[in-house]
Amino acid sequence: MSTTQHEQPNDVYGDEQDAPVLNAFGGDWDDIADEASALHEERIVVNMGPQHPSTHGVLRLILELDGETVTEARAGIGYLHTGIEKNMEFRTWVQGVTFCTRMDYVMPLFNEAAYCMAVEKLLDITDQVPERAQTIRVLMMELNRITSHLVALATGGMELGATTVMTIGFRERERILSIFEMVTGLRMNNAYIRPGGVAQDLPPGTIDKVRETIPELRRGIGELESLLLENPILKGRTVDVGYLDLAGCMALGMTGPILRSTGLPYDLRKADPYCGYETYDFEVATWDTCDAYGRLRVRVEEMHQSLRIVEQALERLEANPGPVMVADKKIAWPAQLSVGSDGQGNSLDHIREIMGESMESLIHHFKLVTEGFRVPPGQAYVGIESPKGEIGCHVVSDGGTRPYRAHFRDPSFNNLQGTAAMSEGGAVADVIVAVASIDPVMGGVDR
């Protein structure tokens, strides 16, 4: 906006001869209008969202259109900001798990694992976490990887008009959520992985239930493959749509299926193993088309590889009945939880000890639960391979019982930067395909 100042003649102001006049006139808007009229084109700016059924949450896409062609695309985020990271500074280290599990609510166990492993790194107890606890973490994370990919395929199919893909995807996801409910008491936002191990051991019958579920999942994933992979309608909508090559992924810091769809087999489970992943037999799924179709193929193959890992984890759990929490009682949550007939409660042996036999145990339990354990001053970063890419947690401690700072590198946040590169130059309908192939969850983006 520009202004000029000059004097007006007497007949305008009468006696006020020296009164200034400010003329306001447009800057670049005049140029834009002149250019548009000279080119005889019509530009439209469209707000897609933040309440739009195909934006995977409250994501706002600002699209500049020339007819049906997208000339500019920008992502507007922040509509789901919940202050999770800041709230964690006012809770104990253990209570922080109940906050971070709600970030990307489609993959809660990965949020918990990254946070707890960072806390364990600060405490220098990574090697003390029992093997059984690490195996349970692997089992739960790989099942969670499958549920996340099923949601990606189900919602993506729904947005393209394939309702059957959605119903099959959510049907198969329910099978795994019932296992999560059996183990943790909750379908989502589990707060099951804790610093030092997991909240409680697998309840009786879990391994048998998982074994029974695996063939059903394979059959359901096979149905999705039959519906999708060679479907000419789907290939027409996804092949060469949302294109982003390896150079673009590297420039934007994008990871996960988007990166592996360019042919680069980068997976932190192989590149920087954790939780004993180096001892499991599985392949890194890749494709080489750099488009939405390639990302679909990567996710489908990753589900099969996750089932391979789950089967190996079950064999190890049957052979290793050990503890599921570190031995250090200054850190370990004192209650070995045992769900009773009422669906909740601590083990009777534990209650008998702290309530009737040992005053020291009661005091220790009270202080550990209410105040929490202290973490030595310092900072640590841990990155793991989530269904959407690298999720990292950076925690800082000042030596107290609460995090001084907890910050997460959420993969959806980085991957969403590719929206413009994938969408510009394509049709409006292809924006929906591009966003679906990114598979963002706004709870993780905004936090």
Half-sphere exposure of 406 (CA within 13 A, CB side): 30
Q: What is the pLDDT of residue 342?
A: 53
- From the number of C-beta atoms within 10 Å of its C-beta (0-12, 13-18, 19+), residue 38 rates as exposed
Residue 310, pLDDT > 90, answer: yes
Q: Give whole-number Cα distances, 303 to 26, 83, 441, in Å.
A: 56, 32, 19
Cα separation, 302 vs 221, whole angstroms: 11
- Work out the pLDDT band at 49, boundaries 50, 70, 90: confident
Cα separation, 210 vs 278, whole angstroms: 23
335-374: pLDDT as tens digits: 455 555 555 555 666 666 666 666 666 776 777 777 778 8
Instruction: Give residues with Cβ within 8 angstroms of 179, minimum separation 6.
Output: 143, 206, 209, 210, 213
State the Rg of the chain over Cα: 27
What's the rounded mean pLDDT across residues 31-46? 66
Cα separation, 236 vs 231, whole angstroms: 9
Strand pairing category for 378-386 and 69-76: unpaired
79-103: pLDDT as tens digits: 888 889 899 989 888 888 999 898 8
Cα separation, 171 vs 150, whole angstroms: 9
In the 3-class helix/strand/coil scheme, how is 368-382 assigned residue by residue? HHHCCCCCCCEEEEE
DSSP-H helix ranges across 196-262? 206-228, 232-238, 246-252, 257-260
Residue 446, pLDDT > 70, answer: yes
pLDDT, averaged across the chain:
83
Instruction: Please report the domains of the chain, with CATH numbers, ordered by start residue.
Output: 1-41 (no CATH), 84-331+373-446 (1.10.645.10)
Query: Crossing angle, helix 292-319 and helix 428-438, to 10 degrees?
Result: 20
171-192: pLDDT as tens digits: 999 999 999 988 888 888 888 8
Residue with more model confidence, 406 or 32: 406
Instruction: Give residues with Cβ within 8 angstroms of 73, minimum separation 6.
Output: 61, 62, 63, 64, 419, 420, 423, 424, 431
Name the pTM for this structure.
0.83
